[in-house]
């Protein structure tokens, strides 16, 4: 594996690529437990508003030219709306997640059935604790994989063997950023944005080694779920509350597309958590 993936490309080279995305409607979304620091069961989710915000997010993806596929809602699984945690999908292979918390473990079978019915040739269920694309981000021919809070280190070896793709381990240390996609965004194959304090010192050094032009963000924007974003290589869909990060991405030649996801953020997740990219 190279020690450096590459530096950021000039703005003129930014090109949007249509993506195939999986989403799950917030039919039953609620905050009835507290499995991450953002969840406060005494602060209710406005279901009608959450559904409206989710529909606007889906419409934004479709307006940008992306294909969105929908999983039918399942009663009793309110966190399934965060489809990024369904698993990791590349080509005709899908590795379905094995969740940490009992509140989400019922999602594994529901997502396994969807992948099989969708025609994936090889569908496996993770043997190690692995929370899917929430902790696994593809960039430049490798997979960046989070560990330390939800997905385990041994799960990274399982990912590498299942997909035959190199995996770079990044240790998360701040419970507020419990999945990799809350602390780091892949903008394109040469550019990432991240919040350094979410990672161990060794992992920050590894990120700097691989991405010397990486964009560092302020805590305020990280806490506004600005890193929980979906990029198509030019357009970056993210929380409209992360105003500083909008400016940084625009300065780097990307087009930020702000969305209001305030009700979904009550569960501790943002735009990309609602979205599983089905990589070709």
CA distance 13 to 114: 36
CATH architecture, domain defined by 11-277: 5-stranded Propeller (3.75)
pLDDT of residue 5: 43
Active site residues: 179, 273
Element containing residue 193 per DSSP (H, E):
strand 191-194
What does the domain layout of the chain look like in residue ranges? 11-277
Burial grade of 141 (CB within 10 A; 0-12, 13-18, 19 or more) = exposed
pLDDT of residue 76: 86
Low-confidence ranges of the chain (pLDDT < 70): 1-12, 29-43, 267-269
pLDDT of residue 3: 33
Calculate ∠ Cα 141-146-150, nearest 5°.
Answer: 145
pLDDT of residue 214: 95
Q: Sign of the CA dihedral 70, 71, 76, 80?
A: negative
pLDDT digits (tens, 9 = 90+) for 169-224: 999 999 999 899 999 999 999 899 999 999 999 999 999 999 999 999 999 999 88
Q: Are 219 and 239 in contact (CB under 8 A)?
A: no
pLDDT of residue 6: 41
Q: pTM for this structure?
A: 0.90
CA distance 137 to 230: 11
């Amino acid at each position: 594996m190279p020690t450096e993936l590459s530096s950021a490309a000039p703005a003129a080279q930014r090109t949007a690529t249509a993506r195939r995305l999986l989403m799950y409607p917030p039919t039953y979304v609620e905050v009835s437990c507290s499995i991450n620091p953002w969840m406060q069961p005494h602060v209710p989710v406005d279901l009608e508003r959450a559904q409206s915000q989710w529909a606007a997010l889906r419409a934004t993806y479709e307006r940008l030219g992306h294909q969105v596929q929908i999983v039918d809602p399942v009663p009793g699984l309110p966190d399934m709306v965060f489809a990024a945690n369904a698993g990791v999908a590349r080509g005709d292979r899908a590795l379905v997640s094995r969740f940490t918390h009992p509140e989400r473990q019922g999602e594994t079978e529901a997502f396994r059935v969807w992948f099989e019915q969708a025609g994936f040739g090889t569908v496996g269920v993770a043997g190690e604790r692995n929370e899917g694309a929430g902790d696994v981000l593809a960039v430049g021919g490798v997979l960046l994989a989070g560990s330390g809070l939800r997905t385990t280190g041994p799960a990274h070896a399982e990912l590498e063997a299942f997909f035959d793709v190199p995996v770079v381990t990044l240790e998360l240390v701040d419970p507020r950023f419990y999945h990799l996609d809350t602390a780091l965004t892949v903008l394109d194959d040469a550019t990432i944005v991240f919040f350094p304090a979410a990672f161990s010192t060794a992992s920050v050094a590894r990120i700097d080694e691989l991405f010397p032009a990486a964009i560092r963000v302020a805590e305020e924007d990280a806490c506004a779920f600005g890193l929980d974003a979906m990029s198509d290589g030019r357009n970056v869909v993210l929380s409209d509350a992360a105003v500083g990060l909008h400016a940084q991405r625009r300065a780097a030649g990307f087009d930020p597309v702000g969305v209001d996801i305030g009700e979904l953020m009550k569960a501790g997740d943002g735009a990309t958590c609602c979205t599983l990219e089905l990589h070709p």
